[in-house]
Amino acid sequence: MPQADAQAGLQVIPLKCPRCKTQLNAEDRDVVYYCAQCREGFELAGNKFFPVQVRFALPQCSRQGTPVYLPLWCFSVAPEFQSKNRFKLTRINQFGFAFRKVYVEGFSRQATSLRLDIGLLYTNAQLEFETVQYNTLRGCSRYRKDALQFAKIIVLALIDQKVDITGVDVQLNVQDWNLVGFPFYKEGIAYYDGILGKKFYID
């Protein structure tokens, strides 16, 4: 059950949907909770819940078994690149604006190379997907504001594959955002994503 600082000490916050009062299932490190009754998510900041739109992606590469839906933050952005090197900035602008959607892992996983980051791979693919109704979302332990900071790292890492990003910065002007549950199928110690069909090690 979450706790928050209060003037008189720690305040216990009941882990119930702020709308329908249904008990919410969660993991210890979660900061976003999904209510299957309301079909809406809530981000806990301080001692208050803030609504989060949650969508679930329809599997495109189905495998045996029932998928586990893992959360990724999805930001629709208008990137604005800055650099004192005008030649470099011109090259970046030739393809940098292709990254209109940026995905960031919302769940905890073992440290891994950035090139194996699921959000980076999804961002590079600029995923398009249909949605499906579902009622279970695996814990989201990354705040939206933290995910947005990591989104900048993802964009710059993808740019760096084509142009040296030394001296380059990017401002992501967010136009829309939501949390997306993507389907993953567990096989042994690996997970196969239901969108690209790639294998990941998450636990």
Q: How is the chain split into domains, by residue range?
A: 53-200
What is the predicted pLDDT for the residue at 111?
64
What is the reported pLDDT for 6?
A: 47
**In a 3-state reduction of DSSP, which class is residue 94?**
helix
pTM of this prediction? 0.89
d(CA 35, CA 43): 11
Distance between CA atoms of 87 and 193, rounded to whole angstroms? 39
Q: Report the share of the chain in percent with pLDDT over 90.
A: 67
Triad 142, 144, 150: Cα angle to 5°: 75
Token digits of residue 26: 């969660």
Q: CA–CA distance from 182 to each of 33, 47, 68, 81 (Å)?
A: 16, 28, 8, 29
Write out pLDDT tens, residues 72-124: 999 999 999 999 999 999 989 887 778 899 999 999 887 677 888 999 999 99
Query: 27-53: per-residue pLDDT in tens?
Result: 888 999 999 999 999 999 888 999 999
